[in-house]
Amino acid sequence: MNYPGGIKASRNHITIYKNRGMTLEEDLNITNQFYQEEDIAYIYKKPTPIQITKVDYPSRKEAVIKEAYFKEPSTTDYNGIYRGYYIDFEAKETRNHTSFPLSNIHPHQIEHLEHVLRHGGICFLIVRFTTQNETYLLTGKDFFDFLKHSTRKSIPYTYFLEKGYPIPFEYHPRLPYLKAVDEMIGGSYEN
């Protein structure tokens, strides 16, 4: 069981890991909240796709889902709008310190990213290597370049060093990933 703020409960005791850091999802949530409050961008997490198979109605107004299953995601977790651009990305952590396993990204999500790119949106991956505690933004273009030219089942860490934008930890916002998006929009980015 993971609690926010680095508190971890095991069977009989609670330990607080100081400076242990938050999960990538928590970091992105507070980052997106900051971007929204400062009116910089509007980027949000989509609901988790669920297949509902049984619903009870104990009263007219109330519905309780009694059986449901997690569906394989057909889109990415995050999307929104920044400087008029459609923004779309998937965020993943890996404990693997030499590469990012492509099994983390479902085939439907890859199709989704292709659609977004083709219609003029901005898409990317945000990948955290938890062992190194380093976070990278990899543009959709560089991601698809890799898929096109490689048969490997994982993207090497060195590819992120070479092609990715490192995203530092800061205070406000926690993960300033839109700086990388600014570079994508401003200069060398090609769709």
Footprint of a copy of itself on this chain (CB under 8 A)?
Answer: 36, 39, 41-42, 44, 46-50, 52, 63-71, 74-75, 79-86, 115-116, 118-121
CA torsion through residues 111, 77, 154, 157, sign: positive
Least distance between a copy of itself and beta carbon 130 (Å): 22
Nearer to a copy of itself, 162 or 190 (CB): 190
> CB-wise, 21 or 144, nearer to a copy of itself?
144
**How far is residue 119's CA from residue 90's CA, in Å, rounded to a whole number?**
18
In this structure, are strands 122-129 and 85-94 parallel, antiparallel, or unpaired? Answer: parallel
Shortest Å distance, C-beta 63 to a copy of itself: 6
Backbone angles phi, psi at 30, to 5 degrees: -75, -30
> How near is the Cβ of 166 to a copy of itself at its closest, in Å?
26
Identify which of residues 34 and 86 has a Cβ nearer to a copy of itself in the complex. 86
Query: What are the b/e assignments for 25-43, b being 16+ CB within 10 Å?
Result: eebbbebbebbeeeeebeb
- The encoded tokens of residue 41 equal 């961008």
CB of 16 or CB of 64, closer to a copy of itself: 64
